[in-house]
């Protein structure tokens, strides 16, 4: 079939214009970078994109590859068991698509970091030069010492966010894309009409989708002397005054207004006379690791000293299939070190318990 020469020439001109525009823009951004942080520069680069070809250049790909992944997305689907029973469906993008999504995620994360509310701590990638840190400890900190704590969870968080909502996000005032670009970005980041659990772009997109809800919840809480933070789908509210049904219903109403549902199985109220936890950390008097977790680390360390690394690994991991002794030992050491590092993140790197665990770990035999 003969090619239409006019279409070919138009395509080449469009590509050259887009490439030249991005070249000029990147030159300008490099000039601005003397006074801007790296994430601010990346945010500007993302917002400068107006056409699919410019998007392809930004993502270090080609128009044809972007178009292919939009029209024929490939995902590996499987299920993982939840801690409290049930299964979670995972849709992991194939390598080529995942590489493109990872590149897009870098720019989306940079932009979100520029506009992120201070009370949001989940799904945020902090550059090393930024003083503020977003983790579960920082999410729990504002709730320390409060007399009353209310924890709520968003049900089916990612799957609730439809492709239509994602398209509307990319065409909203936050991005100002035309409908064609917004649709292309939505198709590039969704699967089977929803936000997939397993795609690298899903967490930051969920944060963007929640901006209006987060703002309304914060404003309501501010008027009622309530502290509010959100970490992914976990929302925490604390106050020195009791949470009555009027307040709880108002919070639920705001959540539902923005297209989400509260999970009634995970909603819980706790007073100062009971253990109060926010994203798994105790907040009654200070942010602290749960005693059960500390006992677990202590038991793992004790087994290592008494029975050796291999027997300790078998005791706590069982006997995994298709893994040799060396791999099992290394897996156990890495897991134990990760637990110890977590204690240090929460309690502080100068904490005596953390230092004791760390010194004991260093002294462990490597076999």
pLDDT of residue 5: 41
Who wins on pLDDT, 14 or 271? 271
Instruction: For 199-249, write each residue's pLDDT tens digit.
Output: 999 999 999 999 999 999 999 999 999 999 999 999 999 999 999 999 999
Q: Is 18 exposed, middle or buried (0-12, 13-18, 19+ CB in 10 A)?
A: buried
Mean pLDDT of 123-144: 80
Q: What whole-number percentage of the chain has pLDDT above 90? A: 69
The whole-number average pLDDT for the span 292-315 is 88
For residues 95 and 4, the model is more confident at 95
Res 156 pLDDT > 50: yes
Residue 303 has pLDDT above 80, yes or no: yes
Residue 32 pLDDT: 58
Q: What is the pLDDT of residue 19?
A: 52
Bridge partners for 154 per DSSP: 262
| Cβ–Cβ under 8 Å, residues 269 and 243 | yes
Q: Among 23-27, 110-114, 243-247, which stretch is predicted with the lowest mean pLDDT? A: 23-27
| Residue (of 260, 252, 194, 222) closest to 117 by Cα position | 222
- Mean pLDDT on 79-108: 92
pLDDT computed for residue 29 by the predictor: 58
Given a cut of 90, whether residue 133 has pLDDT beyond it is no
Compare 316 and 159 and report the one with higher pLDDT: 159
| DSSP summary character for residue 197 | T
Does the pLDDT value for residue 15 go beyond 90? no
Mean pLDDT of the chain: 88
The model's pTM is 0.85
At residue 359, does pLDDT exceed 80? Answer: yes
pLDDT at 8: 40
Query: Given pLDDT bands bounded at 50, 70 and 90, which one contains residue 14?
Result: low
Contacts by 50-54 with C-beta closer than 8 Å and gap 24+? Answer: 50/177, 50/178, 50/181, 51/14, 51/18, 51/181, 52/180, 52/181, 52/184, 53/14, 53/15, 53/18, 53/19, 54/18, 54/21, 54/22
pLDDT above 90 for 317: no
Per mean pLDDT, which range of 101-105, 199-203, 210-214, 318-322 is the poorest? 318-322
pLDDT of residue 30: 60
Span 20-43, average pLDDT: 67
pLDDT at 134 over 70: no
Lowest mean pLDDT among 8-22, 173-187, 350-364: 8-22
């Amino acid at each position: 079939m003969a090619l239409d020469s006019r279409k070919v020439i138009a395509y080449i001109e469009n590509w050259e214009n887009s490439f030249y525009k991005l070249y000029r823009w990147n030159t300008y951004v490099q000039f601005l970078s003397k006074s801007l942080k790296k994430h601010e520069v990346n945010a500007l680069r993302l917002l400068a994109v107006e056409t699919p070809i410019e998007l392809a250049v930004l993502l270090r790909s080609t128009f044809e590859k972007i178009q292919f992944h939009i029209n024929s997305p490939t995902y590996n689907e499987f299920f993982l068991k939840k801690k409290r029973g049930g299964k979670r469906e995972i849709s992991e993008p194939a390598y080529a698509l995942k590489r493109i999504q990872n590149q897009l995620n870098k720019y989306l994360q940079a932009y979100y970091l520029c506009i992120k509310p201070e009370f949001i701590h989940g799904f945020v990638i902090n550059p090393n030069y930024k003083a503020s840190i977003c983790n579960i400890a920082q999410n729990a900190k504002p709730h320390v010492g409060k007399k009353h704590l209310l924890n709520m969870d968003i049900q089916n968080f990612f799957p609730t966010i439809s492709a239509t909502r994602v398209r509307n996000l990319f065409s909203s005032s936050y991005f100002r894309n035309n409908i064609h670009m917004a649709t292309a970005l939505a198709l590039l980041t969704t699967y089977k009409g929803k936000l997939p659990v397993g795609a690298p772009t899903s967490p930051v997109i969920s944060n963007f989708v929640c901006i209006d809800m987060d703002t309304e919840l914060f404003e309501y809480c501010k008027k009622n002397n309530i502290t509010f933070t959100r970490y992914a789908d976990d929302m925490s509210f604390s106050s020195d005054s009791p949470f009555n049904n009027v307040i709880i219903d108002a919070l639920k109403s705001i959540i539902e207004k923005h297209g989400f549902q509260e999970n009634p199985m995970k909603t819980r109220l706790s007073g100062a006379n009971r253990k109060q936890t926010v994203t798994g950390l105790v907040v009654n008097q200070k942010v602290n690791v749960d005693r059960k977790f500390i006992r677990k680390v202590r038991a793992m360390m004790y087994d290592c000293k008494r029975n050796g690394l291999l027997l300790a690994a078998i005791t706590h991991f069982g006997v995994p299939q298709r893994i040799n002794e060396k791999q099992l030992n290394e897996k156990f050491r890495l897991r134990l070190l990760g637990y110890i590092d977590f204690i240090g993140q929460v309690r502080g790197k100068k904490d005596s318990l953390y230092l004791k665990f760390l010194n004991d770990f260093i002294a462990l035999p490597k076999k």
